[in-house]
Amino acid sequence: MNPVLPDELVMLQRSVRDFVEQRLVPLGKQIEEQDEIPRSVIDAMAEMGLFGLGFAEEVGGQGFGKLGYCVAVEQLARTNAALWNVIGGSAGLCGTAIDLGGPDDLRRRYLPDLLSARKIGAYGLSEPGAGSDAGSLKTAARRDGDAYVIDGAKTFITNAPIADVFVVFANADREKGSKGISAFVVERATGGLEVGPNDEKMGLHGSTTAQVFFHEMRVPATRRIGDEGEGFAIALRTLDYGRMGLAAHAVGAAQRLLEACVDHAKTRTQFGRPISANQAIQWMLADAATEIHAARLMVYDAASRADRGERVTDRAAMAKLFATELLGRVADAAVQIHGGMGYMKELWIERAYRDARIYRIYEGTSEIQRLVISTGLLANS
Ligand SMILES: Cc1cc2nc3c(=O)[nH]c(=O)nc-3n(C[C@H](O)[C@H](O)[C@H](O)COP(=O)(O)OP(=O)(O)OC[C@H]3O[C@@H](n4cnc5c(N)ncnc54)[C@H](O)[C@@H]3O)c2cc1C
């Protein structure tokens, strides 16, 4: 018995791991080289229920809660980061914003499709001039009768080239600052919406990212998520959940790298003995194992609290900060332990090293996680 997880989540963990090892891992090189995830792979992940894991059954989810979601995401991290990134951008961010903010007719209209991947979603918060300081976004929403007219641009939007549905944050009252921001569900076919070319990235190959432009785009007022001015609060609550998922993914990626390091250290012989016989190597492995264990417990703790209805802003930020920084260290150690082979494209370690770099940047950089944690600390003490 697993001391931390209930039996049903241990079963989920096993079935996702089997699926990942059997169906996704063999496609890793192809996805990396072609920089594309075949639609059939997205469909297979959807059939496994991976898009709806953390959502309630009444909106089309699997009902495993945030803990179940994190447990599964950890296993998904055993292959290319891009695969989960599609789920994270679609169900994880776009779907969660709709779920958290409602209203019910938008939840009913969009969630079943997003959680089964019949539609792919994207989450448009960041702008060229508003990244870490997302509350200063400039995209404007002007009320015009029963609609809003939206003008502006979003940058680095995951899934934008393949998305059917966008959650777009725009300010309807600049004088109110971030309290003037509202959130809208926008369908791709909406007039005035334009998606730029797919960005070329260091890693995450297969996951698409692009700019999105809005030119006098009319969106019915009924597509507003939550009240006018509530958009930024919805964005931040969505990111609490997103950060837990990212932390879980970092834990799984680090775990997979550690396993590869242990195997390599035991089989690679230099100076007439396995390199694992050297204390310098043993300590790298020990540090990685210890930190991964700590990060996993932080993720499970944050997710369990979220499932109990607690607000987890601080815990999610701590888990994301700790887990993603640790992944950076483990990925670096993995290249080091694999020596020259760790630097070669022939081995997936090189890809994992590049993929690992993004975790400390998106959904709030490490510096911003520290800002979130210290702001909570100073306000509550
Ligand atoms: C591959 C990829 C996918 C993405 N997907 C999405 C998406 O789907 N949707 C979306 O909305 N956004 C997305 N983003 C945007 C991402 O969230 C931002 O890149 C991130 O929040 C950082 O913003 P920035 O790039 O503008 O950096 P900046 O905000 O310009 O930061 C630059 C540096 O300054 C530091 N800094 C800034 N302010 C402070 C401060 N107060 N104290 C200390 N240091 C500070 C930062 O930590 C960073 O090191 C994505 C980005 C990438 C690269």
Which residue minimizes the CA distance to atom 24 of ligand 1? 131
Cα–Cα distance between 140 and 240 in angstroms, integer? 25
Say which of 127, 228, 291, 363 is annotated catalytic: 363
Asked if residue 212 has its Cβ within 6 Å of ligand 1, the reply is: no
- The DSSP annotation for 165-200 comes to EEEEEEES-GGGGGGGEEEEEEETTSTTEEE-PPPP
- To the query of whether residue 175 is one of the catalytic residues in this protein, the response is no
Asked if residue 136 has its Cβ within 6 Å of ligand 1, the reply is: no
Amino acid at 70: C
Which residue minimizes the CA distance to atom 32 of ligand 1? 132
Cα–Cα distance between 53 and 116 in angstroms, integer? 10
| Tokens of residue 325, six digits | 């920084």
Asked if residue 116 has its Cβ within 6 Å of ligand 1, the reply is: no
Nearest to 211 by CA among 154, 169, 162, 130: 154
Within a 10 A sphere around the Cβ of 7, how many other Cβ atoms? 9
Residue 1 pLDDT: 41
Amino acid at 317: A
**In the chain, where does the domain assigned CATH 2.40.110.10 lie?**
121-228
Asked if residue 169 has its Cβ within 6 Å of ligand 1, the reply is: no
* Ligand 1 center–CA 361 separation, angstroms: 6
**In the chain, where does the domain assigned CATH 1.10.540.10 lie?**
7-115
* Binned average pLDDT, 10 residues per bin, the chain of 381 residues: 80 97 96 96 97 95 96 97 97 97 94 98 98 97 97 98 98 96 98 97 97 98 97 97 97 98 98 98 98 97 96 97 98 98 96 97 98 93 71
360 CB-side CA count, 13 A: 16
User: Which H helix or E strand runs over 291?
Assistant: helix 279-307
Please give the DSSP secondary-structure letter assigned to residue 58: G
* 3-state class (DSSP) for residue 212: strand
* Ligand 1 center–CA 235 separation, angstroms: 14
Asked if residue 362 has its Cβ within 6 Å of ligand 1, the reply is: yes
Domain 121-228 grouped into CATH 2.40.110.10? yes
Within a 10 A sphere around the Cβ of 146, how many other Cβ atoms? 9
Cα–Cα distance between 166 and 184 in angstroms, integer? 8
Residue 367 pLDDT: 98
Residue 3 pLDDT: 60
Residue 73 pLDDT: 97
* Ligand 1 center–CA 364 separation, angstroms: 6
**In the chain, where does the domain assigned CATH 1.20.140.10 lie?**
233-380
Phi and psi angles of residue 186, each rounded to the nearest 5 degrees, phi first? -125, 130
* Ligand 1 center–CA 17 separation, angstroms: 31
* Ligand 1 center–CA 265 separation, angstroms: 36
Q: 274: cis peptide before it, omega within 30°?
A: no
Looking at domain 233-380, its CATH architecture is Up-down Bundle (1.20)
The β-bridge partners of 152 are 214
Select from 365, 372, 373 the residue to mutate for testing ligand 1; criterion: most ligand atoms less than 8 Å from CB. 365
Residue 4 pLDDT: 77
Write b or e for each residue in 335-372: b if 16 or more Cβ atoms lie within 10 A of its Cβ, otherwise e. bebbeeebeeeebbbbbbbbbbbbbbebbbebebbeeb
The CATH number of domain 7-115, selected from 1.20.1290.10, 1.10.3720.10, 1.10.540.10, 3.90.76.10: 1.10.540.10
**Crossing angle of helices 231-267/313-338, nearest 10°?**
30
Cα–Cα distance between 148 and 142 in angstroms, integer? 5
Q: Which atom of ligand 1 is nearest to the CA of 169?
A: 11
